[in-house]
Amino acid sequence: MKLFTIFKDIVRNTFSKPYTRNYPTEIRPSFEGERGKLIIEGEKCIYCGICARKCPSNALVVTKKPDQSWQFERYRCILCAACVEACPKKCLHMVSRLDERG
């Protein structure tokens, strides 16, 4: 019969520094290649619409005529990066959620 098996761990945790962060003031840096949000380099876009066809959640709407437009509904995006892979001009990018662009 074993009792107080976690006692050693409690002692270790009591005398070690806190494992958690003070979140709003101290933010964990994100990993390289994190899929946090989608951004576009508008000047490179040729409005071909491949990204909109590949998007599984219909978050993108691209029109060529009469006006060229690329619309993106951020709340529908599931951050799968299917559009980024499909883009022939490589103008779409997935960046970290902490990135200031977009």
Partner 1 sequence: MSMVIPFGPQHPVLPEPIQLRLSLQEERVTSALPVLGYIHRGLEKLAEEKDFQQDAYLVERVCGICSFIHSMCYCQGIEELMDLKVPPRAQYLRVVWSELHRMHSHLLATGLLADAFGFENLFMQLWRTREHVMDAMEYTTGARIMLGSCCIGGVRKDINEEQKKFVLDKLNTVEKDLKVLLPVLLEDYSVKKRLVGIGMLDQLTARERGAVGPTARGSGLAMDHRMTGYCAYGELGFEPVVENGCDSYARTQVRAGELLQSIDLVRRALDRLPDSELKVPFKGNPPAGEVVIRAEQPRGEVFYFLKSSGKDKLDRLRVRTPTFANLSPLLAMLTGCTLPDVAVIILSVDPCVSCTER
Residue of 18, 29, 32, 65 that binds partner 1 (CB under 8 A): 32
Size of the site for partner 1 (CB under 8 A): 24
Q: What is the maximum span of the chain, computed from C-alpha positions, in angstroms?
A: 79
Residue 86 identity = A
**Mask: binding to partner 1, 40-79, rule CB under 8 A, as x and -?**
--------------xxx---------------------xx
Q: Cα–Cα distance between 96 and 27 in angstroms, integer?
A: 13
Residue 16 found at the interface with partner 1 (CB under 8 A): no
User: Residue 43 carries which DSSP code?
Assistant: G
> Which two structure tokens, joined as six digits, stand for 58?
């219909």
Residue of 3, 22, 23, 75 that binds partner 1 (CB under 8 A): 3
Q: Cα–Cα distance between 7 and 11 in angstroms, integer?
A: 6
Positions in the binding site for partner 1 (CB under 8 A):
1-3, 5-6, 8-10, 19, 31-35, 54-56, 78-82, 85, 94
